[in-house]
Amino acid sequence: MNKKVLLQDLGLKDYKETWDYQELLFQKTVDLKIKNRREHAQLETPNHFLFVEHPHVFTLGKSGDRSNLLVDEQQLSKKGAQFYKINRGGDITYHGPGQIVGYPILDLDNFFTDIHKYLRLLEEMVILTLKEYGLKAERSEGETGVWLDVGTPFARKICALGVRASRWVTMHGFALNVNAELGYFDLMIPCGIKDKAVTSLNVELGKREVKVNEVKQKLLGHFETLFEAKTIQSKTEV
């Protein structure tokens, strides 16, 4: 039977507000798992999938190097961007308008207890979505995320990935560039990788505007298949 996943599309939402909301959902699930274990109960743990678009923001993972952000706070302010050091894996990344950000907050005990498999399935979801637009997207060995023209001088990243997990509950997720403003990526060394470019779906398709909702529906379709899940629209609480 397909696992139920509660879907919310938060629209354009401040990064910190969304991070706090993620933490709330994450902690509720962790607390329920602790209660189940302590009381030998079998209360069902929820699974969530949040879609969101953020105003310009740079985030640095736990193992990240602050020097990969190439501008100071004053320059960031002039660009209308914010900066946060956060509790996911990975280095520095950028979120902004024209980018689909997805935050699956899943209890992997409901699916499979394998973080490596989880990351690979998120990548596969994006790879299959981009294939529908005629693009051959791939993984790059030793680097998370989704890439184009891997192994060539033209290798470029189109989707970043960074997650956190505790007690097999996940948070954070992926950021797929759809109609992204690529100039903001020049303000950092993306994911700490100096010799690779960044791209966006609209650029790859000849700079035509891509319908964001269409891409979201394709992502969800592949998510449901890969995770053997059924997404159900849920009331936005943030």
Q: In the numeric block, which tokens belong to residue 21? A: 């909301």
Tell me what pLDDT residue 203 has: 96
Tell me what pLDDT residue 139 has: 94
Tell me which of 114-123, 133-142, 182-191, 220-229 is least confident: 182-191
Q: Active-site positions? A: 191
Kindly state the average pLDDT of the residues 122-140: 97
pTM of the model: 0.93
Tell me what pLDDT residue 1 has: 63
Tell me what pLDDT residue 86 has: 83
Query: pLDDT tens, 62-76?
Result: 877 888 888 888 888
> Domains plus CATH for the chain?
3-233 (3.30.930.10)
Tell me what pLDDT residue 238 has: 47
